[in-house]
Amino acid sequence: MQINHNFGKLQTSYLFRDIASKTAAYRADHPAADIISLGIGDVTRPLPAAVVSALHSAVDDMSCAETFQGYPPAFGYDFLLEAIRDGDFRSRGVEIETDEIFVNDGAKSDTANIGDLFGTDNVVAVCDPVYPVYVDANVMSGRGGRFVGDHWTRFVYLTCTPESDFLPALPSEHADILCLCFPNNPTGAAIDKAGLQQFVDWANEHDAVILFDAAYEAFITDDKPHSIYECDGAKTCAIEFRSFSKTAGFTGVRCGYTVVPKELVRDGASLNAMWARRQSTKFNGVPYITQRAAAAVYSPEGAAQCRETIAYYLNNARVIFDALTASGLKCWGAENSPYVWFQAPSGLTSWQLFDTLLHEAQVVGTPGSGFGPAGEGFFRLTAFNTLEKTQTAVARVQKLFSN
């Protein structure tokens, strides 16, 4: 027998596992240390009250023969699909039909699994820096080629730099699949409608497919597009991923959804029909209880409570941004985004800065180089801790860099 040798090409461990194990090793050596994590983007605020109440009542439904629910519908209950259609799309003037929405256990799984729809010879374009799941999943499926130096030979890298405020340019070489994420993880860059429209037009002209990760759209506070389908022609070239994780505190509850428009046809096949076929074979749906909780996000109270929590995190982001800027560090993000991205001081590499912050300030962040070669020399902090811990963490970082 043969295993899938593409796994052997990957770095030994996933970025956030590396960070967790380095942090655990430090904690083991310094049990009294007050470590503050601004590393992985995991939320800390409790679930919105409307969501908690929906969870309780869904549990009651499960306790009674008349309302008990067994296997969920593979693509989602109508009550949630309709809430998504109306709350996330119709409210913005975008018509998405319920059979174009596929409820899942969070965006991460589908941003990786979507590769099942595409041949392994396709060329994938990724931003650099980039959320590592898109890269690792495509490497596992054989679309990475070889890892030479700090690059995969078969990917097209759309290098994002400070000069363009970390927004990518259109691919200048052939690509079949384009992975985009806005507001961006890790840089916090948000794209305007005209900029996104250029990618949509490019994809339609080149018969490419855009995989659009909109997991952070709820953090947009200005007129930037929340959905790629706000752009003309996006339904013929784009798949969109959404998540309740950061919008409503669901990192531990697990729920999101993928939109695959019926107009999206490649190589003579409907990607919507293929995804439906794939999901009905490989996925058994999201629990009733979870979907009731997700539907509560669209109630007037649930939506207001989510907005309040997002404002809390955006304020944390501003606290981080302002403190680091006052320390003389060059920062990006924090606007329309829960991430602050900054340049490491005095020529430190990303991992050197990680070690310095952990050992000297007991603050955990994410090294930019973990997001790709163009992330070297940069660092990411998240706004998802409490305000108090965020203030303490940035005060320690400020003290460190003012010494």
Interface residue list for ligand MLT (CB under 6 A): 40-42, 108, 185
What is the bridge-based pairing of β-strands 156-159 and 177-181? Answer: unpaired
Of 168 and 365, which has the nearer Cβ to ligand MLT?
Answer: 365
Question: What residue number has its CB nearest to ligand MLT?
Answer: 41
User: Rounded to an integer, what distance in angstroms lies between the CA atom of residue 360 and that of residue 7?
Assistant: 36
Instruction: Report the nearest approach of ligand MLT to the CB of residue 196 (Å).
Output: 21
User: Rounded to an integer, what distance in angstroms lies between the CA atom of residue 122 and that of residue 175?
Assistant: 7
Q: Nearest 10 degrees: CA dihedral of 330, 336, 337, 338?
A: 100
Instruction: Report the nearest approach of ligand MLT to the CB of residue 271 (Å).
Output: 24
Of 38 and 83, which has the nearer Cβ to ligand MLT?
Answer: 38
Q: CA end-to-end span of the chain, whole Å?
A: 59
How many residues in total does the chain contain?
Answer: 403
Residue whose structure tokens are 């090294």: 367
Of 85 and 380, which has the nearer Cβ to ligand MLT?
Answer: 380
Peptide bond into 225 cis (omega under 30): no
Nearest to 346 by CA among 368, 328, 362: 328
Of 21 and 280, which has the nearer Cβ to ligand MLT?
Answer: 21
Instruction: Report the nearest approach of ligand MLT to the CB of residue 399 (Å).
Output: 25
Of 108 and 235, which has the nearer Cβ to ligand MLT?
Answer: 108
What is the bridge-based pairing of β-strands 156-159 and 331-333? Answer: unpaired
Of 108 and 292, which has the nearer Cβ to ligand MLT?
Answer: 108
User: Rounded to an integer, what distance in angstroms lies between the CA atom of residue 98 and that of residue 75?
Assistant: 9
Contacts 24+ apart (CB under 8 A), 150-158: 150/373, 150/376, 151/373, 154/123, 154/124, 155/123, 155/124, 155/125, 155/126, 156/123, 156/124, 156/125, 156/126, 157/125, 157/126, 157/127, 157/128, 157/372, 157/373, 157/374, 158/125, 158/126, 158/127, 158/128
Of 94 and 363, which has the nearer Cβ to ligand MLT?
Answer: 363
Instruction: Report the nearest approach of ligand MLT to the CB of residue 22 (Å).
Output: 15
Of 185 and 336, which has the nearer Cβ to ligand MLT?
Answer: 185
Instruction: Report the nearest approach of ligand MLT to the CB of residue 173 (Å).
Output: 27
Instruction: Report the nearest approach of ligand MLT to the CB of residue 108 (Å).
Output: 5
Instruction: Report the nearest approach of ligand MLT to the CB of residue 401 (Å).
Output: 23
Q: Nearest 10 degrees: CA dihedral of 212, 216, 221, 227?
A: 30
Within 10 angstroms of residue 236's Cβ, the number of other Cβ atoms is 15
Of 197 and 350, which has the nearer Cβ to ligand MLT?
Answer: 350
Instruction: Report the nearest approach of ligand MLT to the CB of residue 226 (Å).
Output: 18
Angle formed at CA 121 by CA 119 and CA 126, multiple of 5 degrees: 95
Instruction: Report the nearest approach of ligand MLT to the CB of residue 41 (Å).
Output: 3
